[in-house]
Structures are given as C-alpha cells and as structure tokens.
Chain A
Amino acid sequence: MSQSRWCWLMIAPVAVGLLIFTVGPMLVSLMLSFTDYDVVSRPSFVGSANYHYLLTADPSFWVSVKVTAMYAAASVPLGLFTALAVAMLLNMEVPFRGLFRTLYYLPTLLPATASGVLWAWIFHPTDGALNRMLLSVGVRGPGWTSSPSWALPALIIMSVWSYGGAMVVFLAGLQGASKTLLEAAGLDGAGPWKRFCVVTWPSLTPVVFFNVTMSLIGAMKTFDQAFAFGTSGPGVGGPARATLFYVLNLYSKAFEHFHMGLASAMAWILFAAIGGLTFLNFRLSRRWVQEEAG
C-alpha cells in the first residue's frame, strides 16, 4: 500500500468526524439561525428576525453580554497577573518547586461543577467560610451569592483560583528565557526590574499572547461553574440575572425553552465575537509580540 493510501486510511476517522460533527453542523446551525425552530415542528424561514430580535428586543441578550464582558474584563487580567506572579516565584531556585507547581495547579483540574458548588458554600451569605472569617475581624461581609452586585465579583474571585493552566504555560516560557542574557544584563548592572523589562518580558511575549487569547475565549464560554454556582445558591443566572452568562442564556433558550433558531443565532454571534477578538489580538500582537525570542 502506498504512503498516501496509508495517510488517508489513518486520517479517515478524523476527517469523517470533522465533516459530521463540525463542518456539517456549522452549516446547519447557520441555516437554523434564520429560522423559527422548536424541535417538534419543521424549521420555518424567518430571515434575519432572530438576529434583529436579539439585538433590539430580547430582554436578556444584552444583560448576558454585559455580564460576560464584565467577567472577562476582570477575570482575565486578574487571573493572568496572579498566574505570572506565581510562575515567576516558582522560576527561582526555591526548594520544593515541583511540589509547589503541582499544588498550585491542583484547583485547575477539579471539575468546574464541583468548584462552583464549593465556592457557593464558601460565599454563603450567613454561614460561608469567607463571611465568617470577615466577621472574626469585625467586618460584615456582603451577601455574595444572594446580592445582585456581589454575585459576579464572587465568580471572578473564584476564577482566579483556576488559572493554573496559564501558570504552567508561563513557567515554561520563563524557563525558555535565556540564562546567559539574564546574567549578562546582571553583570552590566541591571537590577531585577530592569532585567525583567529588557530580557524576561520580551522573551515571554509569545506566551503572554497565547494565554491572553485562550483565557479570553475561555471567559466568553463560561458555563459549568456559573451553572453549578447558581444552582447551589440563588438559582441559575443568579440574583436579578447578575450571573446570567452568555452561554447560560444560550443554553436556557435552546434546551429549556426550545427556541433553537434564536439560540443558533446567539451561537453565531458568539462565534463572530470570538473570531473578531482573536483576529484583533493577532493584529495587536504584531506590535508587541517578539516571535524570535525564547
């Protein structure tokens, strides 16, 4: 058998899967987004009505966009900054580095569902560990899970807990930074901050770019932890829809109310937003990412 035969034989399952589970469904989903479809009856064509309804009349669409945008805007920088700080500390020759790295990564691999439930208990307004701790130093904590203005910050704090993936990637990037360059800069009299700015950061930019892109996409797709968090406390979507994430909204439209056409339109808007943001990221990255380094 020729090499190209072998090649196609080995790729075949993946190629079939790509057609059945991605390419085909994408086309169907695009078509469905222009229809009214409730699973039971046949889809009926409604033109751009779904998009129009979402953008101008739907009572929850913009709420969920705002919730998700605020979450991403706070969680991504906060999480990445913490991850980078921990990675830089771990990059020093401290004892038990391996153990530290493992334990800092641990929360990331927990099921987001279990994390959501756990943090709902920690943030419990009256009996949660956090408010009890605050009370023991004389502070009356906010209602967190039951408060429209504190439920989203609670989820943001929780998200910082699971940035271990970004930390590991930062750590790998830091280890790629040239030791000789760092030493040379040190001999030239550059202090730690100067060395960071001149040597470490430039060689780290590709990794930063990767982490920013992936974290942003991840934040926009937030579902599991928000669903679990809501179920454990104020109900899915949170008090006064304060934690009605975009994908929660999409899920509820599709699989609770069976507005499949509307949900498909929401999916395509999300896709466009992710695509647009990633593209923007790539364009911006040309200015500050130094591909040669590392």
Chain B
Amino acid sequence: MKPRLVPAFAVLVVGLIVCLAPLAWMISTSLKPFDELFKGGISLIPQHTRFENYSDSLRTFDFLRAFGNSVFVAVLTVLGTLASSIPAAYAFARLKAKGSSWVFYGLLATMMLPGQITIIPVFRLFASLGMIDTYAPLIVPAWLGTNAFAVFLLRQFFRSLPEETMEAARLDGANEGLILVRIAVPLARPAVVTVAVFAFLGSWNDLWGPLVYLHREERMTLPVALVNFVGSSGTVQGTPWNLVMAASVVTVLPAVLLFAFCQRSFVAGIATTGMK
C-alpha cells in the first residue's frame, strides 16, 4: 500500500467496524442466555454460549413455517418477474410496434408512484376475488410485470447487445421468440441474475404486502412473523431479545447468502440503474 493511502485505509477500517458492529451485536445477543442480556457490559462474547436460542425461537413461534412461506412467495415472485419482464424488456429494446413506447413510458412512471396510492383499490380487487389471506396478491402482480425496475434494467442491457447477431439470426429464419431465448437471454445473463436477486430480496424483505393481505398466523412470511414475535413475546422480565435476535438472524441470513453468491453482477446492476 502506498503511504499516502494509509489514512484512507484506516478511516475505512474504523467505518467498517462501526458499520458491522450492529450485526455483531445481533449475532452475539442471539447466542446469550436470557439472564445475561440484562447484566450490563457490552461484551460480544457470551459467557455461556446458548445455541438452543435458535431451536427455542423456532419452537415458540412457528418460524420454520414462516420461513417456508417466505421461500414459496419469493421463488414464485422471482419466476413471475423474470417470465413477464424478460420478453417485455426485449420488445421495448429491440422491436417496434405502434403504441408500445407508451406502455414503456407508463411503466417508467410507475417507478415514481408510491405503492400506497394503489393499495386500497388493489386490496378491494383481491377481496372481491376472495383472495385475501392467500398468496395470490403477493405473487400475481409479479407475473404481470409490475416490477417496472426489472423491465427497465433488462431493457438497458438488451439495448447494448450488437444488432448484427440478431439480424443474422433473423436472416436465417429465426423468429423473435427464438432470438430472445437463444441469443438475447444468454448474453444478458448478468442482468437476469441481478433482476432475480432484486426480485427475491424485494419479496423476501417485504413487510407491507403480507401485513395488508395475510391474516392467519400460519400464513405469515418471515418479516411479519418477526414483528409479531417481538410484539407478543414481552414478559414482566422483559423481551427475550436473545430469541428475537436468533429469529432475526434466520430472517437475514438467506438475503446475505444470496448476495454473497451473486455479489459481482448484483453490484454492477445497481450501478447501471444509477448511470441511466
């Protein structure tokens, strides 16, 4: 390291410690026995490590089921987002049809729109279809391309592909569907991964949707389960923060792991959106 970089490096290290301390505190609390929580001190290492907090929190509150529900909703949301946004993005980037650009601008405008403005009519719509307390309201919109951001990001990538390759395929008699599946999608793989990760995180982290649409305990996804757990687990002795933090770790972990695996293309994807 060049000497003039040492101060910058030092600041980054200190900043990182501050940035990661809350996470360390979360993990540390999740491993402490209850009576250690209120003893004072800020030791990160538990005096008695208690892994049973995890099984306890999974048992006292049905987090395992909530976990399964979250996975189910997130996977179907990702599939729906990809299925609807990939073809649309390709069409917006590469094909011409009268009026199609209006759909694109409409979609772009929805990115600015606060979701709260449509929630009541959409809630009414799903209620009239008898779909409250089902996963349909959380999943169906994704299959109909409501993730405008995904369409936008993929369109940017499809636009950057060389036209010659596709023209050659067209001359060979390939139709647009084939070109999309065989040429465009394989070339846009980083963008597709980015969109999938974003869609997964969006669904996995969503509190608002499940809070509005789901009622029964056994339907809850992880964020709602976590909030309910915190809200209901307090006793005279205090909230069992060790169990709450264990549940938080379980909630957070899949998002972190997914990010770790797809980090490269994901960060590139975020940067792209900022760079027009």
| Secondary structure call for the A interface | helix
Q: What string of 1s and 0s marks CB contacts (under 8 Å) between A161-174 and chain B?
A: 10001001101110
Within 71-112 of B, Cβ neighbours of A (below 8 Å) are at 83-85, 87-88, 90-92, 95-98, 100, 103, 106-107, 110, 112
Q: By the criterion CB–CB under 8 Å, are A117 and B19 in contact? A: no
Is A156 located at the chain interface by the 8 A CB criterion?
A: no
CA distance A124 to B238 in the complex (A): 11
Q: B110 and A22: CB pair below 8 A? A: yes
Cβ 8 A contact of A271, one of B83, B96, B113: B113
Q: CB within 8 A of B84: which of A17, A20, A23, A93? A: A17
Contacts A7-B97, A25-B125 given; indicate if A172 touches B274 (C-beta within 8 A).
Answer: yes
Interface residues of A in 73-128 (CB under 8 A from B): 86, 89-90, 92-95, 100-107, 109-114, 117-122, 124, 126-127
Are B144 and A270 in contact, CB atoms less than 8 angstroms apart?
no
Q: Give 1 or 0 for each of A210-225: 1 = CB within 8 Å of chain B CB.
A: 1100000100110110
Q: Would you call A232 an interface residue if the criterion is a C-beta within 8 Å of the partner chain's C-beta atoms?
A: yes
- A56 within 8 Å of B by Cβ? no
**Interchain CA distance A227-B205 in the complex, whole Å:** 13
Q: Do B84 and A101 touch (CB < 8 A)? A: no
Residues from chain A with a CB closer than 8 A to the CB of B127 are: 39
Give Cα distance in the complex from A16 to B88, angstroms: 12
Contact A224 B223 (CB under 8 A): yes
Q: Which residues of A contact B8 (CB under 8 A)?
A: 89, 92, 94
Interface contact A14-B252, CB-CB below 8 Å: no
Asked if residues B91 and A111 are in contact (CB atoms below 8 Å), the reply is no
CA distance A124 to B40 in the complex (A): 12
Among B16, B113, B255, the residue within 8 A (CB) of A111 is: B255
Q: Is the Cβ of A4 less than 8 Å from the Cβ of B103?
A: no
**Tally of chain B residues near chain A (CB < 8 A):** 97
Tell me if A275 and B112 are in contact (CB < 8 A): yes
Across the interface, do B248 and A118 meet the contact criterion of CB distance under 8 Å? yes
Determine whether the beta carbon of A15 is less than 8 Å from that of B103: yes
Stretch from B48-56, B57-65, B186-194, B263-271 forming part of the interface with A: B263-271
With a cutoff of 8 Å between Cβ atoms, the chain A residues found around residue B180 in the complex are 10
Taken together as a complex, chains A and B put the C-alpha atoms of A231 and B112 apart, in Å, by: 29
Q: Which residue on B lies nearest to A170, using beta carbons?
A: B274
Cβ of B256 and Cβ of A109 under 8 Å apart?
A: yes
**Chain A 11-35: CB-based contact to B (< 8 A → 1; otherwise 0):** 1011111101111111011001000
Pairwise interchain contact A103-B19, C-beta atoms closer than 8 A: yes
Q: How far apart are B147's CB and chain A's nearest CB, in angstroms? A: 9
A23 neighbours in B (Cβ, 8 Å): 106
Residues of chain A lying within 8 A (CB to CB) of residue B226: 113-114, 117, 228
CB-nearest residue of chain B relative to A129? B25
Query: Which of B29, B37, B270 has the most chain A CB within a 10 Å cutoff?
Result: B270
A127 to B234, CA, bound (A): 14
Report how many residues on chain A are interfacial, defined by Cβ distance under 8 Å.
99
A-side contacts of B22, CB under 8 Å: 107, 118-119, 122, 161
A31 to B25, CA, bound (A): 48
Other-chain residue from B87, B90, B244 in contact with A121 (beta carbon distance below 8 A): B244
Chain A residues lying within 8 Å of B144, measured Cβ to Cβ, are 13-14, 16-17, 20-21
B97 with A113: CB separation less than 8 A: no
Residues of A within 8 A of B84 (CB): 13-14, 17
In the bound complex, how far is the Cα of B2 from the Cα of A293, in angstroms? 30
Q: A151-192 toward B: CB 8 Å interface, digit per residue (1/0)?
A: 000000000010001001101110010000000000000000
For residue B157, CB closer than 8 A to chain A, the reply is no
Is B136 at the interface (CB under 8 A from chain A)?
no
B residues less than 8 Å from A288 (CB atoms): none
Q: Is the CB of B114 within 8 A of A117?
A: no
Least CB distance from B43 to A in Å reads 10
Residue of B nearest to A120 (CB): B230
Cross-chain contact A14 with B85 (CB below 8 angstroms): yes
A169 lies within 8 A of B274 (CB):
yes
Pairwise interchain contact B223-A168, C-beta atoms closer than 8 A: no
Residue of A14, A107, A165 touching B103 (CB-CB under 8 A) = A14
Out of B5, B42, B124, B207, name the residue touching A129 (CB < 8 Å): B42
Given contacts A21-B118, A26-B113, A136-B42, list 15 more A-B pairs with CB under 8 A.
A6-B95, A7-B176, A10-B88, A11-B91, A13-B84, A100-B12, A104-B16, A113-B251, A121-B29, A161-B22, A168-B271, A168-B274, A221-B115, A231-B231, A250-B116
Contact surface of B with A, Cβ cutoff 8 Å: 1-2, 5, 8-9, 11-12, 15-16, 19-23, 25-26, 29, 37-38, 40-42, 83-85, 87-88, 90-92, 95-98, 100, 103, 106-107, 110, 112-122, 124-125, 127, 141, 143-146, 151, 175-177, 180, 201, 204-205, 207-208, 211-212, 222-223, 226-227, 230-231, 238-239, 241, 244-245, 248, 251-252, 255-256, 259-260, 263, 267, 270-276
Enumerate 16 A-B pairs (CB-CB under 8 Å) in ascending A order.
Answer: A4-B95, A4-B97, A6-B91, A9-B87, A13-B143, A14-B107, A22-B106, A28-B121, A101-B267, A107-B23, A114-B251, A172-B272, A217-B114, A224-B207, A267-B116, A294-B275
